[in-house]
Amino acid sequence: MATDRTLPARARVVVIGGGVGGTSIAYHLAELGERDVVLLDRAELTSGSTFHSAGLVGQLRADPTLTRMNTYSAELYAKLEATEHPVGWVPCGGIRLACTPERLQETRRQIGWARTFDLPLREISAAEAKELFPLMSTDGVLGGSYLPTDGYVDPSQLTYSLAAGARAGGVRIFTKTRVLGIDLRDGRVHRVRTDSGEIEAEIVVNCGGMFAAEIGRMAGVRVPIVPMSHQYLVTDPVRPRDGTHLPTLRDPDNLVYWREEVDGLLMGGYERDSRPWAQSGAAFEAIPADFNGKLLSEDWDRFTEIGANAEARVPVMGTIGVRRMINGPEAFTPDNEFCLGETEVGGFFVAAGFCAHGIAGAGGVGKVMAEWIVSGDPGLDVSHMDIRRFGRHYGSPAYTRKRVVENYETYYDIPYPHRERSAGRPLRVSPAYSWHVEHGATFGEKSGWERVNQYESNVDGGDASLRPHDWAGRNWSPAIGAEHIATRERAGLFDESSFAKISVSGRGAAELLNWLCANDVAREIGAVTYTQALNARGGIECDFTVTRLAEDEFMIVTGTAFGSHDMGWLRKHAGPDVRIADVTGQFACFALWGPRARDILAPLTPADLGNEAFPYLTAQETTVGDVPVRALRVTFVGELGWELYCSAEYGAALWRALWAAGEEHGLVAGGYRAIDSLRLEKGYRLWGSDLSPEVHPYEAGLGFCVKLDKPFLGRDALIAARERGLTRKLACLVLDDPRHVVLGSEPVRVDGKVLTRVTSGGYGYTVGASIAYAYLPVELAKPGTRAEVELFGTWVPAVVSKQPLFDPRGERVRQ
């Protein structure tokens, strides 16, 4: 506790919330030399969700960034254990069982991921699992994995240890101090009002746990989390305390997990019949004001399935006494990822939504957030954890709840490729949606949008013998190949209305965009420019096209899932003379691509579509049929064609006109799965997989988008990188067996040494090859280098190839 209970009049940083997240951020801020930091808690430290957390620390995740964060956490906890404020860190190892062939495949895929992190994860048999955890039954167990460096920690001890370290670094901590309001000035945080006084602050960090949504509303910010009732029990003693420890045990096929608790067991799980808390009817996010250090009522009926599964796996669970049942609310997000980063309100940061794995990630969260606050850069690719990833529809508590509940109830489900969520659908639809339904579309969902994956009406035109092996063959359809080939040979029509569209206008628009973009975007009116926006390290923060519509008006088109993120990046750097608006829903967008695209479009428009009159990478206002459109001659598939934008109310008419005009030319309607296959052959990069804030354009093969003869954010870092010389480069690998198709993140080795992981890949129907992209050391990223890619425990030979694989001179887009 702080000796002086008087709040300071100001502080540079105010952290709200004294759980494991808030204290970790305070600890790491102090480590970075921040001395003017205040941490506030409404009650006592750990009185939110932290005190009843199970405390498991598993390091490996499907996501590389989270794995690095969790690995750092384990290292930090081991370091803190050796201090005068130990954290109860027990590096006992962790077992994950596989009880189905599919789960065993997942296990082998995870072991492949682990190789790329130098984590010593290994496959074990059922007998080896029992040897490590003698209390378990091997009935139905096919195998599993074991990571000896996993463990568990005491969440309360961890919090108090971090708080002690923060205090030693000058952080002032005030408990029993309730935040009543957050005042803004000129779009930034200015002051925190509490029941003990007011504090002016440059930066406020919302680490409120289940209260984070309530705290966010004080600043006008939506934090899309839902407290979920999560239960576990602690048993009476099951084995003597002899100085040894059982490993943690997870049985995802049966929805349960265990760890030791003194001389008993802690057992919990993720039931299929979940319960959101403090949300019923219209009373969304209505957490009682006095809910501090409290638990929810025991719900044994809802624990029945988990209890039966637990007894089947660990038979002693049926005879041993139960010391207590813990039912506590845990804040979950709609996608099971953390909510981190700066919000649309300047200086207002969030670190919340820990989704029951916050103890494992807390050390990494603290480090990332502290660096983000101090330097403006988290240092890692946390785009999938960035709070800006959530679109406006998550402003709806009802929609958020539906997604969170589905996410919780499928927590342990195998994440097969192209797995689709069903909650809250359909929500956002294109003007041509009913046409897609009538013509047999199979839909996927992204950012609330219904998007065509493929049309099952095109199945007969495909080749069923091309179905990939293993998981890549799930959710696959011959229609994908049919749509791909039709686009290459004739023409394809694609609905891209979901692509995010951002209007940037005003007197300072050109100056802002030319500063943020590595390419020259302040060109003539009608110019379309493909570019990246970089951070100060030269890493790629955004990847989009910019069309200049007027002297003071531009349109940015970016990926469906990246609109909120990219808007946040633009607004962070914009001055008062720039207007930035999300106009995605105002415009339909249909892409007509293929060698016959000009033949189809020409009869519908008065515009001259010839190369001289309408060059590649230009835009014109015209009409198509009865519809006024903005036509952009661009492509994401490597073929001649146009993206046609129209006001949404004209969308259905425009689609019908294009379809009718294309029938005699063999036009085929296609979906996003075909687009992905087409872009792979052309080597077009994807942000979020091939591109990230940790990769610069020269490494990604995008040096042609960099114009060093003008100033831009990240320029100095790029010049320094060029002077040092490239150490890695994005390479295109072709696997020897075309039926082995990568999903992403598979390890890649050369001469028996694992060097990297796959960023993206798939099957190219024109080139007839399985394609994978990966960053390789520059001396190995040369055509002819032999490599191997691991898929489900099998090393598949591959060779580095010239890229792009299709139309390397780019002649087809300009024909």
**Active site residues per annotation:** 230, 257, 543
Kindly give the interhelix angle for 20-31 and 155-168, rounded to the nearest 10 degrees. Answer: 30
Nearest alpha carbon to residue 268 among 230, 237, 242: 230
Kindly give the interhelix angle for 563-573 and 509-516, rounded to the nearest 10 degrees. Answer: 110
β-bridge mates for residue 455, sequence order: 441
3-class state of residue 331 by DSSP: strand
User: Are 380 and 69 within 8 A, CB to CB?
Assistant: yes
> What is the full DSSP assignment across 88-109?
--B---EEEEE-SHHHHHHHHH
Return the number of other C-beta atoms located less than 10 Å from residue 325's C-beta: 16
Rounded Cα distance, 604 and 586, in Å = 23
Rounded Cα distance, 330 and 357, in Å = 10
3-class state of residue 399 by DSSP: helix
Rounded Cα distance, 587 and 438, in Å = 22
Intra-chain end-to-end CA distance of the chain, in Å: 73
Range list of β-strands (E), 694-778: 728-735, 747-750, 753-764, 769-777
**751 token code pair:** 């001469």
Nearest alpha carbon to residue 548 among 585, 486, 505, 577: 505
Burial of residue 778 (number of CB atoms within 10 Å: 0-12, 13-18, 19+)? middle
Nearest alpha carbon to residue 773 among 639, 682, 675: 682
Burial of residue 702 (number of CB atoms within 10 Å: 0-12, 13-18, 19+)? buried
β-bridge mates for residue 734, sequence order: 771, 799
Rounded Cα distance, 206 and 339, in Å = 10
> What is the full DSSP assignment across 22-58?
HHHHHHHHHHTT---EEEE-SSSTTTTTGGG---EE-
User: Are 141 and 82 within 8 A, CB to CB?
Assistant: no
Enumerate long-range contacts of 323-326, CB under 8 Å, 24 or more apart. Answer: 323/233, 323/234, 323/235, 323/236, 323/264, 324/233, 324/234, 325/231, 325/232, 325/233, 325/298, 325/300, 326/52, 326/231, 326/232, 326/233, 326/234, 326/295
**543 token code pair:** 């990847």
Tell me which DSSP letter residue 664 carries. G
Torsion of CA 563, 512, 204, 349, to 10 degrees: 20
Whole-number Cα distances in Å, 744 to 418, 538, 789: 12, 24, 11
Rounded Cα distance, 369 and 390, in Å = 19
> Which residue shows structure tokens 């007509």?
592
